[in-house]
Every structure is written in structure tokens, then in C-alpha cells.
Amino acid sequence: MPGMDGFETAAHIKRRERTRDIPIIFLTAINHGPHHTFRGYAAGAVDYISKPFDPWVLRAKVSVFVELYMKNCQLREQAALLRLQLEGGGGKAAVGDTKEPAGLLAELSARLAAVEEQAEALSKQLDDDSADAAAVATAAHLERKLTGLRRALDALEPGTGSGAASLPSPN
């Protein structure tokens, strides 16, 4: 590329708020060894592939990253709903006619269960397809985040005794 190499381009993409979450896969005809691969990962790449490559493997990798993106969007939506409820916003516009906290928590729990199920299926697919280490690590990170979100949601449910009393009042 004239004026800027792929490493600089990746660093520029990762610096911008709007594009920082875009997964970057380096595809190169030049194989300078592990130094270049490490430099690609350090610049923000999620994978580094040298030519010649198998197009089916590339499609599978892109598919995994698209699925992970969708799961992260669902998590952000659920977190926003929870924040709305905790801040006293009620969450009516986002959840429908559910106004009371118990109804909102049930809705969030159901949505989280759906994301957890999809993440589990994705992890199984990665195990079955003998995916690359970066995709497996990203899926494991997503599962850890889901576990944390589940714990937080469970702590908010009345009667669980998990610390709900220490949360700030939404009013």
C-alpha cells in the first residue's frame, strides 16, 4: 500500500472509537517469520494468514468473528437494559410493557440464556472444527464475560441472597 503499511493501517483502525472493535485478519504473501506475525497481533489483528491459504478456512474464520460480534452486540444491549433499570429508567421502551424490576430481570435472564446457549454452540463448533488459537481464545473470553454477567444478574434477583441489598436503589 502506498504511504502506509498494513501494521500502520491496523493501528489506525484500532485507535478510532468507531472502528476499534472490527476484527482484523492479516493476509500476506510475505512470510518474514514470527516477528511479523507478532507485530500483526500487536497492531490489533485477530489472525495472521500467509498465502497460499485455503479460502474455506478463511470463510470459517470470518464466520466465527461475525458470530462473536453478534454475541457482543447482544451483551451490550442486555447491559444497557440493566443499566436503564438500575438508573430508574424503567426500561419500558427497550423491553416492552415490562415495568417492574422482577419482570425486567426475568426478561434479561431469558435473553442472557439465549446468548449463553449460542455461545456454547459456538464453542462446540470451534472445538469440532479444530479452529485456530485466536478464535478459541476469543470464544473463551466471551464465555467468561457471559459468566460474569450471569453472576451479576443472579445477584440482582430478589431472594437469592447474593448481595442484592447492597445495590443502589433505582429511585
How many CA within 13 A on the CB side of residue 4? 8
Claim to verify: residue 121 and residue 77 sit in the same structural domain = yes
Averaged pLDDT of the chain: 77
End position of a domain, from candidates 32, 50, 68: 50
- 47 pairs with which residues across the strands? 25
| Model confidence band, residue 165 (pLDDT cutoffs 50, 70, 90) | very low
Claim to verify: residue 81 and residue 19 sit in the same structural domain = no
**Per-residue pLDDT at 112:** 83
How far apart (Å, rounded) are the C-alpha atoms in residues 160 and 124? 31
Q: How many domains does one find in the chain?
A: 2
End position of a domain, from candidates 33, 50, 67: 50
Claim to verify: residue 15 and residue 79 sit in the same structural domain = no
Claim to verify: residue 156 and residue 119 sit in the same structural domain = yes
Please tell me the pTM assigned to this model: 0.48
Claim to verify: residue 43 and residue 64 sit in the same structural domain = no
Claim to verify: residue 77 and residue 128 sit in the same structural domain = yes
In a domain, 148, yes or no: yes
**Per-residue pLDDT at 96:** 47
**Per-residue pLDDT at 142:** 82
Find the range with the poorest average confidence among 23-32, 65-74, 94-103.
94-103
In a domain, 75, yes or no: yes
Please report, for the chain, how many H helices and E strands are present, in that order. 6, 2
Give residue 11's domain range: 6-50
> Which run of H or E residues covers position 26?
strand 24-28
The pLDDT tens digits of the residues spanning 30-80 come to 777 788 888 888 888 888 888 888 999 899 989 998 888 888 888 888 888
How far apart (Å, rounded) are the C-alpha atoms in residues 65 and 80? 22
In a domain, 121, yes or no: yes
How far apart (Å, rounded) are the C-alpha atoms in residues 171 and 152? 20
Claim to verify: residue 75 and residue 153 sit in the same structural domain = yes
Claim to verify: residue 46 and residue 59 sit in the same structural domain = no
In a domain, 20, yes or no: yes
